[in-house]
Amino acid sequence: MRIGLTTSAIGHALLLAWGLWQLPGAQPFDVETIDALPVDLVPIGDVTKIAEGTKTAPKNDNASQGKVHNPVPRPDSQRVGATEADQDAPITEKAGKTAAAKEAEPPPPPPKAPEKPPEPKPAEKPPAPDAAPPEKAPEKPPEAAPPKADTGEIAAKPPEKPVEKPPEEQPKPVPPAPAKPLTKPKPPAPTETAEAKPDTPAKKDSKTTAPSKADAPKDSKSEKFDPNQLAALLNKVDPSGGGGKSSDKAASLGSEKATGPVANMTQSELDALTAAVTQCFNPPVGAASIDQIVVPLRVEFTIDGDLARPPVVKSVPAGPAGQAVADAAVRAVQRCAPYPFLPKDKFDTWQVVNMNFTPPSSY
């Protein structure tokens, strides 16, 4: 035991001695000195330079006081798509407008007088023209005179007008009709979207315009040279859309409204509408697996949430039960009407709703 004890004691003594001499202590960390970074304290007021306002100071036109002028949409830029079906808005003549505007003020009186006589038809019409407002006169002339190619729709209208007016004039209107009737009615009421409507003020306008054409049968392309119409004569551009270019793209889904792009209905409103319709849906008897069917519906509303017309099935789904399910969907929409929860201030967005109705899967 003595051997072990001595060995151990000596070993520990050596170890401690080594520790004392060889491990004198921890080396202090090297702390690198950091260069001082100058920092200036600058009050924000020096930068922003906002001055306190006084109530007695004179009004100044600066940005904060300017009034907001909502841009008025140009009349012809209302339709999104470029296809014919989209072109609800009228095609007007640029030249006609500009020229007409110029003519309206100073020149109108002189030119009209000489023009009237040359054309027999206009002469007969004068009785009516008296009533016609002088402003419209300038616009009509360009349209009436030029006998250009007509579309079927256009042709149809002119006949109606004369009928309503004097019966004698009926024959006459027919020839002028081929001219660009489209343009006439539209300029006065650019926002009209309903050509189909039979008796609207728009038509009256058109009627009145018809006689006025007679008064001023000037054509942008007519031979007569009028220095005042120089601008109009120089403008050889054929009539085209007067406003912004309509987009080249086909109308996107749901954008059937007169203004705005795609319908902005929020998902919750659409959901509410769909839920309401779904509740009223009675599945056709015997139809199997109808939950795979999607019925595209076009529903038009009035502002009080009622149906403006019966919903239209845009395409009958395929399959044996397709027609039955489509009819059931139409019945569901009609049965649930009206839908008063649709927000009135967003009527624009849900005036026309293209909904893809899916029969509830629980059936």
Partner 1 sequence: MNPAELTQNVLAAPAVEVSVWALFWQASFVVKLVMLGLLGASIWSWAIIVDKIVAFNRTRRSMDRFEKVFWSGQSLEDLYRSLNSHANEGLAAVFVAAMREWKRSHEAGRVSFQGITDRIGKVIDVTISRELERLEARLIFLATVGSAGPFIGLFGTVWGIMSSFQAIAASKNTSLVVVAPAISEALMATAMGLAAAIPAVLAYNKLSTDAAKLGSRMDGFADEFAAILSRQIDDRS
**Binding footprint of partner 1 on the chain (CB under 8 A):** 1, 3-9, 11-12, 16, 19-20, 23-26
* Beta carbon of residue 50, minimum distance to partner 1 (angstroms, whole number): 45
* Beta carbon of residue 8, minimum distance to partner 1 (angstroms, whole number): 4
**Residue 162: HSE in the Cβ half-sphere, 13 Å Cα cutoff:** 20
Q: Side chain identity at 160, as an amino acid letter?
A: E
- How distant, in Å, are the alpha carbons of 142, 165, 210 from that of 174? 16, 13, 11
Of 31, 359, 83, 112, the C-alpha closest to 248 is 83
Of 123, 147, 95, 154, the C-alpha closest to 216 is 123
- C-beta of 17 vs 234, nearer to partner 1: 17
What is the DSSP code string of 154-223?
HHHHHHHHHHHS-GGGTTTTTTTTTS-TTTTTTTTSTT---SS-SSSHHHHHHHHHHHHHHH----TT-S
Find out whether 93 and 183 touch, Cβ atoms under 8 Å: yes
- C-beta of 24 vs 109, nearer to partner 1: 24
Say how far apart CA 74 and CA 110 lie, in whole Å.
32
- C-beta of 1 vs 149, nearer to partner 1: 1
* Beta carbon of residue 17, minimum distance to partner 1 (angstroms, whole number): 10
- C-beta of 12 vs 245, nearer to partner 1: 12
- C-beta of 12 vs 335, nearer to partner 1: 12
* Beta carbon of residue 6, minimum distance to partner 1 (angstroms, whole number): 8
Of 356, 353, 357, the C-alpha closest to 257 is 353
Say how far apart CA 137 and CA 210 lie, in whole Å.
9
* Beta carbon of residue 12, minimum distance to partner 1 (angstroms, whole number): 5
- C-beta of 6 vs 282, nearer to partner 1: 6
* Beta carbon of residue 29, minimum distance to partner 1 (angstroms, whole number): 11
Give the three-state DSSP class for 354. strand
* Beta carbon of residue 51, minimum distance to partner 1 (angstroms, whole number): 49
- C-beta of 8 vs 191, nearer to partner 1: 8
